[in-house]
Amino acid sequence: MAKLELENLRKQFGPKIVPVKDISLDVEDGEFLTFVGPSGCGKSTTLRMIAGLDQPSHGKVLIGGHNVNPIPPGKRNIAMVFQSYALYPHMTVAENIAASLKLRKTPKDEIKRRVNEVSHKLGLEHLLDRKPGKLSGGQRQRVALARALVREPDVFLLDEPLSNLDALLREQVRAELKQLFESQNKPVVYVTHDQTEAMTLSTKIAVLYDGVLQQLDPPHRIYSRPANQFVAGFMGSPQMNLLTLNCQGNCAVLGDFKINLPELSTVPSQIVLGIRPEDVRLDTSDDFQTIQGQVYLQEDLGKEKLISVRVDGSDQAVRALLPADQHWEGEAITLAISAKATHWFDVNSGDRLGNH
Ligand X SMILES: Nc1ncnc2c1ncn2[C@@H]1O[C@H](COP(=O)(O)OP(=O)(O)OP(=O)(O)O)[C@@H](O)[C@H]1O
The C-alpha atoms of residue 1 and residue 324 are separated, in whole angstroms, by 51
Residue number with CB closer to ligand X (19 or 274): 19
Residue number with CB closer to Mg ion (49 or 311): 49
Using CB under 6 A, list all residues that contact ligand X.
13, 17, 19, 39-45, 193
- Least distance (Å) from ligand X to the CB of residue 44? 3
Q: Which residues contact 230 (CB under 8 A, 6 or more apart)?
A: 207, 209, 214, 350
* DSSP states of 8-73: EEEEEETTTEEEEEEEEEEE-TT-EEEEE-STTSSHHHHHHHHHTSS--SEEEEEETTEE-TTS-G
Partner interacting with residue 215 (select from ligand X, Mg ion, none; CB below 5-8 Å by kind):
none
The C-alpha atoms of residue 272 and residue 101 are separated, in whole angstroms, by 55
Partner interacting with residue 218 (select from Mg ion, ligand X, none; CB below 5-8 Å by kind):
none
- Least distance (Å) from ligand X to the CB of residue 204? 18
- Least distance (Å) from ligand X to the CB of residue 23? 12
- Least distance (Å) from Mg ion to the CB of residue 165? 17
Partner interacting with residue 45 (select from Mg ion, ligand X, none; CB below 5-8 Å by kind):
ligand X
With CB atoms as reference, the residue minimizing the distance to Mg ion is 44
- Least distance (Å) from Mg ion to the CB of residue 43? 5
The C-alpha atoms of residue 46 and residue 60 are separated, in whole angstroms, by 11
Partner interacting with residue 88 (select from ligand X, Mg ion, none; CB below 5-8 Å by kind):
none
Residue number with CB closer to Mg ion (51 or 271): 51
Closest Cα to residue 275, out of 206, 344, 331?
A: 344
Partner interacting with residue 142 (select from ligand X, Mg ion, none; CB below 5-8 Å by kind):
none
The C-alpha atoms of residue 64 and residue 1 are separated, in whole angstroms, by 6
Residue number with CB closer to ligand X (16 or 340): 16
Using CB under 5 A, list all residues that contact Mg ion.
44
Residue number with CB closer to Mg ion (44 or 241): 44
Q: In what order do the strands lie in the sheet with 288-300?
A: 317-323, 304-311, 288-300, 332-338
213-220 LR contacts (CB < 8 Å, sep 24+) = 213/22, 213/23, 213/24, 213/25, 214/37, 216/25
The C-alpha atoms of residue 204 and residue 64 are separated, in whole angstroms, by 19
- Least distance (Å) from ligand X to the CB of residue 104? 29
Residue number with CB closer to ligand X (44 or 214): 44
Partner interacting with residue 17 (select from Mg ion, ligand X, none; CB below 5-8 Å by kind):
ligand X
- Least distance (Å) from ligand X to the CB of residue 54? 7
Residue number with CB closer to ligand X (25 or 341): 25
Please tell me whether residue 291 adopts helix, strand or coil conformation: strand
